[in-house]
């Protein structure tokens, strides 16, 4: 079994499903490159397609109206409404988990995870619970092999982002609505759009640029009549051209779109994205050469994300045999489920729910990062004592579920192949039960990493 | 500069004149860990200091704060501290600590960071450098050896992995209330053998196992944080309950052979929208923090609490004026807190310059008149006997401008 195939499946993919290393075996790089296209869409637990954002915006507005109608002294009814939102999010994430466990395009799915985390929308404040799943489906999945500017525009105009970073509450102080209501702008999206999503914190912008971009984005809000859920509201838009980083933008939607596109094409953005991409897929501290290659291809192709992904695959630094990057809890749970071909065919959703609770207990759950910076990209975030103990406890629990006749050594050979160390093989052979042998495999240094 | 009649910080020049020789003589026995306890609480997301500790006596307070101004009487009135500053109405337990002279409040205080990125601000706050990413480890980790702490079981992060603040050369522990049943010892020993040649995982696991025993009784009443009884996730509740974390920290710190230093953190302070005044999202979050702090005090018991200092800080403050959506945006100066039985409390320390636009940084932020490193250095020196030379050269390099503030800790 070729080492390269195992590396492709574990480092760029999401961990091997039975037989996957053989599939990748003939041409591991070709296997990865062939996956780079618009990502697949998850389905709801009942198999149905999730609704578009326009529908969700309308639902949210109805919920808010209902909430207002409920008397203040009726906490049960309020709780029930909140529970409805939670169920929408929980179902979306269940679909996403399942896709991660079963997909035959794991590199595409891994790219989705990267970009989702880069453009973090978190549900921790509750207000985005309805839209978070739609955010990934509509603003990330279609664009992972598209141009960065298109993804940046989809992200910036998505209801989830507009709610998360408060742009729907940002009103131009001199706009019609601003003068009437005495309300004003909110800097949150303007700042993070440059600091986190495009230029990077050292991207050479000032506080007045933050204010200019916030002004440019005033009026970008939620419209339940649009299928996308997005609407531009001129009465909230700050009048007058805005100067952002030395360039003037017209006070309308067109000016805003141009500003987002210009940010996407800035060389600082290329540098920022290249560094994060290399840190996520290749090494906690990528070499300057790796970053420079990715940066160059981003600049040369005008931000073609397909070219970026292929360039990473082509980098020799990505093919070092020893796995260096600690799997995040999502990657860890997913690799475990893929190796064991879970959930089984007739699973009623329990296995998925269990994986969701486990990932969260280990410290990571999609779209619940504590801040817009997202989940950390480097290994030290996931190797702390308490984090590690939780992972080992989970491994032991998974081991406790194997059925009679299970052969851990065979699974190790099939799904890790040349990556399994002899120390792990020896320890597994000495284990008292097949379940313990599996738990040791899942706990092993080579399975903790990718 | 208009100085307020409030208790002012010592002039930096006067403190600097004390010299390092004096500190060395006083802390000759600093090589072994004493039985003092230090906790550092990071409030991630930039706490609104004017909400937490309102300067209600400032003549511009009500007009500058608008809808965010707190009332001084009636329902939801702020707690008065000294006739000028107050505490947010949610800070019921902190007010009691203040009255017991166990709480100091600092205002117009900030790390040396002057831009407005959360993540850079937190990096400076935790690394102790003058700029983001200048130092790769945390100031609290660099202070461990000078405190006499050379190994992981004396310094503990109440997070899954230690934050930057506590990361560095000295390996440190981390603990959270258990969410899964622990596997048996036999199995863990097998895993330990498997990690023998993997330094990162080996040390991490060894540390976790050492703490496991110590934390048994801390786990007794800490609730499971993630899975409800029916296995359904709790996501919508927001940032999670703080009480199990603070209470667990209190119990672990109470052990005579347990950790002496702990870090805690709480997020949920980034109030860009609908911040609220006496009531609302920030009020609820402050209440959760207040209750959690009291649970830590109770878990320690009076004897250990009397040897304890807790310093609580955030990456920067928020804008003085409300923004267009009833919240506040990223600012500069803010509030910090020092409390515990070992603290010489009952004062607000601030170089106050008023809230009129001319006094504000860029016309919008509270100015940074005191360097947070001055506060951290004093606590490390007076409470944990860290020698002055280590503070200046190792723990907080390039911090000469931030001389320690004297007299924060009871002798």
Chain B: nearest CA to A89, how far in angstroms? 9
User: Tens of pLDDT along A85-103?
Assistant: 888 999 999 999 999 999 9
Convert the pLDDT of each residue in A258-296 to its tens digit. Answer: 999 999 999 999 999 999 999 999 999 999 999 999 999
Token pair 């503990």: residue: B156
**Which residues in chain B touch residue A423, judged by CB atoms under 8 angstroms apart?**
194, 196-197
- A97 in contact with B at a CB cutoff of 8 Å? no
Examine the pLDDT at A443 and tell me if it is beyond 60: yes
Find residues 270-329 of chain A whose CB sits inside 8 Å of chain B. Answer: none
CB within 8 Å of chain A, chain B residues 10-39:
none
Q: Do A85 and B236 touch (CB under 8 A)?
A: yes
pLDDT category, B16, cuts 50, 70, 90?
very low
Distance CA A175, CA A184 (A): 9
B247 Cα to chain A: minimum distance (Å): 17
Cis peptide before A343 (omega within 30 of 0): yes
Residue B330 touches partner A, C-beta closer than 8 Å: yes
Q: Which residues of B touch A430 (CB under 8 A)?
A: 190
Nearest chain A CA: its distance from B397 CA (Å): 23
**Number of other CB atoms surrounding residue A204 within 10 Å:** 11
Kindly state the average pLDDT of the residues B100-116.
96
Give me the pLDDT at residue A72, please: 66
In three-state secondary structure terms, B256 is coil
Which candidate in B47, B183, B225 is best for mutational testing of the A interface (most A CBs within 10 A)?
B183
Distance from CA of B362 to the nearest CA of A (A): 10
In angstroms, the separation between the Cα of residue A158 and the nearest Cα of chain B is 19
Q: Is A374 on the interface with B (CB under 8 A)?
A: no
Contact B205 A354 (CB under 8 A): no
Whether residue B44 lies within 8 A of chain A, CB to CB, comes out as yes
Residues 6+ apart with CB under 8 A from B65: B50, B54, B320, B321, B322
Please report the residues numbered 59 through 98 in chain B whose beta carbons come closer than 8 angstroms to any beta carbon of chain A.
Answer: none
Predicted local confidence at residue B324, as pLDDT:
87
Confidence of residue B6 (pLDDT cuts 50, 70, 90): very low
A356 and B233 in contact by Cβ < 8 A? yes
> Measured between alpha carbons, how far is B225 from B239 in angstroms, rounded to an integer?
11
pLDDT digit string (tens) for A357-394? 999 989 899 999 988 999 999 998 999 888 899 999 99
Which pLDDT score, from 0 to 100, does residue B59 have? Answer: 96
Average pLDDT, chain B: 85
**Residue A44 reports pLDDT greater than 80:** yes
A392:B238 CB<8 A: no
Q: Which of residues 162-181 of B touch A (CB under 8 A)?
A: 162, 167, 173-176, 179-181
A385: which chain B residues are within 8 Å (Cβ-Cβ)? 152, 161, 173-175, 204-205, 207-208, 211
pLDDT band at B226 (very low <50, low <70, confident <90, very high): very low
Distance from B359 to chain A by nearest Cα, in Å? 19
pLDDT value of residue B228: 32
pLDDT digits (tens, 9 = 90+) for B111-127: 999 999 988 999 999 99
Query: Mind listing the pLDDT tens digit for each residue in B229-284?
Result: 333 333 323 355 799 899 999 999 999 888 999 999 998 898 998 899 999 889 99
- Does residue B224 register a pLDDT over 70? no
**Dist CA B204 CA B340 (whole Å):** 30
Query: Any chain A CB within 8 A of the CB of B324?
Result: yes
Q: How far apart are CA B96 and CA A122, in angstroms?
A: 36
For chain B, say whether A226 makes contact (Cβ under 8 Å).
no
According to the model, what pLDDT value does residue B175 have?
A: 86
The span from the CA of A266 to the CA of A302, in Å, is 9
- Over residues A125-159, the pLDDT tens digits come to 778 999 999 999 999 999 999 999 999 999 999 99
User: In this predicted structure, what is the pLDDT of residue B32?
Assistant: 56
- A373/B contact by beta carbon, under 8 A: yes
Ranked by mean pLDDT, the top range of A136-150, A400-414, B199-213, B228-242 is: A136-150
* Contacts A124 to B, Cβ<8 Å: 238-239, 267-268
- Asked if A370 lies within 8 A of B44 by C-beta distance, the reply is yes
Question: For the residues B286-302, what does the mean pLDDT come to?
Answer: 95
Of B212, B267, B324, the CB nearest to A185: B324
Confidence of residue A349 (pLDDT cuts 50, 70, 90): confident
> What's this model's pTM, rounded to 2 decimal places?
0.76
Report the chain B residue with the minimal C-alpha distance to residue A191. Answer: B117
Query: Exposure string (b/e) for A95-119, b if CB count within 10 Å is 16 or more?
Result: bbbbbbbbbebbbbbbbbbbbbbbb
Residue B97 in this model has a pLDDT that exceeds 60? yes
Question: Which residues of chain B neighbour A448 with C-beta distances below 8 Å?
Answer: 201
Range 178-197 of B in CB contact (< 8 A) with A: 179-183, 187-188, 190-191, 193-197
Q: How close A172 gets to chain B, by Cα (Å)?
A: 9
Name which of A215, A213, A104, A227 is nearest A158 in CA terms: A227
A396 at interface of B, judged by CB pairs closer than 8 A: yes
Return residues 411-440 of A near B (CB < 8 Å).
423-424, 427, 430-431, 436, 439-440
pLDDT, chain A, mean: 94
Average confidence (pLDDT) over B321-329 = 92
* Structure tokens, B94: 């902190």
Q: Which residue of B has its CA nearest to A129?
A: B236
Tell whether A364 is within 8 A of chain B (Cβ): no
Confidence of residue B133 (pLDDT cuts 50, 70, 90): confident
B329 touches A: beta carbon within 8 Å: yes
Residue A22 reports pLDDT greater than 60: yes
Tell me if chain B has a CB within 8 Å of the CB of A170. yes
| pLDDT value at residue B10 | 27
Query: Residue A114 is encoded by which pair of tokens?
Result: 């990267």
How large is the average pLDDT for residues B3-14?
29
Are A278 and A291 contacting, i.e. CB atoms less than 8 angstroms apart? yes
What is the pLDDT confidence band of residue B181, given thresholds at 50, 70 and 90?
Answer: low
Section A322-330 average pLDDT:
95
| Residues 344-363 of chain B whose Cβ lies under 8 A from any Cβ of chain A | 362
**Residues of chain A neighbouring B329 (CB-CB closer than 8 A):** 186-188
Lowest mean pLDDT among A47-51, A98-102, B208-212, B394-398: B208-212
Dist CA B296 CA A75 (whole Å):
30
Determine contact: A394 vs chain B, CB below 8 A.
Answer: yes
Look at residue B28 and tell me whether its pLDDT is greater than 50.
Answer: no
Enumerate the residues of chain A whose CB falls inside 8 A of the CB of residue B200: 379, 383
Closest residue to B267, CB basis, from A210, A370, A436? A370
Higher pLDDT, B281 or B411: B281
**Residue B84, pLDDT above cutoff 60:** yes
Question: How confident is the model at residue B160, as a pLDDT?
Answer: 80
Does residue B302 sit at the A interface (CB-CB below 8 Å)? no
Q: Do B190 and A85 touch (CB under 8 A)?
A: no
CB pairs under 8 A between A and B: 188
Judge whether B303 is closer than 8 Å to chain A, CB to CB: no
- pLDDT of A65 reads 85
């Amino acid at each position: 079994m070729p080492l390269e195939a195992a590396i492709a499946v574990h480092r760029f993919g999401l961990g091997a499903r039975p037989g996957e290393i053989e599939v990748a075996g003939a041409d591991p790089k070709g296997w990865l490159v062939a996956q780079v296209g618009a990502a697949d869409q998850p389905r709801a637990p009942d198999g149905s397609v999730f609704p578009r954002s326009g529908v969700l915006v309308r639902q949210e507005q109805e919920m808010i109206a209902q909430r207002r109608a409920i008397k203040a002294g009726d906490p049960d009814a309020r709780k029930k409404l909140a529970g409805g939102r939670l169920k929408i999010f929980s179902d979306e994430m269940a679909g996403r988990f399942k896709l991660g466990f079963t997909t035959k395009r794991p590199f595409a799915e891994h790219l989705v995870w990267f970009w989702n985390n880069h453009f973090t929308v978190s549900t921790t404040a509750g207000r985005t619970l309805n839209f978070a799943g739609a955010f990934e489906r509509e603003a990330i999945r279609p664009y992972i092999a598209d141009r960065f500017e298109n993804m940046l525009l989809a992200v910036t105009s998505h209801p989830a982002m507009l709610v998360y970073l408060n742009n729907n509450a940002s009103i131009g102080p001199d706009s019609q609505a601003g003068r009437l209501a005495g309300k004003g702008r909110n800097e949150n999206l303007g700042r993070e759009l440059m600091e986190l999503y495009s230029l990077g914190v050292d991207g050479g912008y000032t506080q007045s640029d933050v204010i200019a971009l916030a002004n440019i984005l005033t009026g970008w809000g939620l419209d339940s009549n649009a299928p996308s859920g997005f609407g531009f509201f001129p009465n909230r838009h700050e009048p007058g051209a805005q100067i952002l980083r030395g360039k003037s933008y017209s006070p309308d939607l067109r000016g805003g779109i141009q500003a987002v596109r210009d940010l996407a094409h800035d060389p600082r953005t290329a540098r920022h994205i290249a560094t994060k991409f290399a840190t996520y897929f290749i090494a906690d501290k990528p070499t300057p050469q790796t970053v420079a290659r990715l940066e160059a291809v981003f600049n040369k192709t005008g931000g073609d994300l397909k070219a970026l992904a292929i360039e990473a695959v082509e980098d020799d630094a990505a093919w070092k045999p020893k796995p260096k990057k600690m799997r995040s809890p999502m990657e860890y749970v997913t690799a475990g489920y893929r190796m064991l071909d879970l959930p089984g065919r007739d699973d009623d959703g329990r296995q998925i729910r269990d994986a969701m609770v486990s990932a969260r207990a280990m410290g990571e759950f999609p779209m619940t990062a504590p801040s817009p910076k997202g989940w950390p990209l480097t290994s030290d975030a996931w190797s702390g004592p308490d984090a590690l103990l939780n992972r080992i406890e989970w491994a032991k629990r998974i081991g406790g579920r194997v059925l009679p006749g299970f052969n851990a050594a065979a699974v190790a050979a099939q799904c890790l192949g040349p990556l399994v160390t002899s120390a792990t093989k020896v320890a597994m052979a000495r284990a008292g039960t097949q379940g313990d042998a599996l738990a040791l495999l899942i706990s092993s240094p080579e399975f903790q990493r990718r | 500069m208009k100085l307020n009649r409030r208790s002012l910080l010592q002039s930096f020049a006067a403190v600097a004149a004390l010299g390092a020789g004096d500190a060395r003589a006083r802390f000759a026995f600093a090589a072994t860990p004493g039985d003092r306890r230090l906790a550092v609480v990071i409030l991630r997301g930039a706490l609104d200091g004017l909400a937490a500790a309102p300067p209600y006596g400032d003549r511009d307070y009500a007009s500058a704060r608008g809808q965010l101004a707190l009332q001084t009487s009636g329902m939801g009135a702020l707690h008065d501290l000294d006739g000028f500053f107050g505490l947010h109405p949610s800070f019921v337990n902190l007010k009691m600590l203040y009255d017991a002279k166990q709480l100091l409040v600092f205002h117009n205080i900030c790390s040396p960071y002057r831009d407005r990125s959360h993540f850079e601000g937190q990096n400076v706050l935790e690394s102790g450098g003058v700029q983001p990413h200048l130092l790769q480890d945390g100031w609290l980790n660099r202070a461990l050896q000078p405190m006499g702490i050379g190994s992981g079981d004396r310094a503990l992060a109440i997070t899954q992995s230690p934050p930057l603040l506590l990361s560095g050369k000295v390996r440190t522990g981390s603990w959270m209330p258990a969410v899964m049943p622990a596997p048996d010892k036999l199995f863990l020993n097998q895993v330990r053998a498997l990690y023998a040649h993997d330094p990162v995982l080996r040390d991490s696991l060894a540390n976790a196992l050492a703490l496991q025993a110590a934390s048994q009784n801390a786990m007794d009443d800490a609730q499971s944080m993630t899975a409800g009884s029916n296995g359904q996730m709790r996501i919508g509740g927001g940032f999670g309950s703080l009480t199990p974390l603070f209470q667990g920290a209190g119990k672990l710190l109470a052990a005579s052979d347990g950790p002496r230093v702990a870090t805690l953190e709480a997020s949920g302070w980034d109030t860009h929208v609908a911040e609220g005044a006496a009531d609302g999202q920030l009020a609820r979050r402050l209440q959760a923090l207040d209750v959690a702090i009291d649970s830590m005090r109770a878990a320690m018991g009076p004897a250990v609490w009397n040897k304890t200092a807790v310093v609580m800080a955030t990456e920067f403050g928020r804008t003085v004026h409300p923004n267009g959506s009833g919240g506040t945006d990223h600012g500069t100066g803010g509030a910090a807190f020092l409390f515990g039985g070992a603290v010489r409390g009952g004062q607000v320390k601030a170089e106050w310059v008023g809230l009129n636009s001319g006094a504000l940084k860029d016309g919008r932020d509270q100015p940074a008149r005191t360097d947070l490193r001055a506060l951290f250095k004093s606590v490390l020196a007076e409470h944990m006997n860290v020698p002055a030379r280590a503070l200046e050269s190792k723990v907080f390099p390039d911090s000469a401008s931030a001389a320690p503030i004297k007299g924060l800790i009871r002798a």
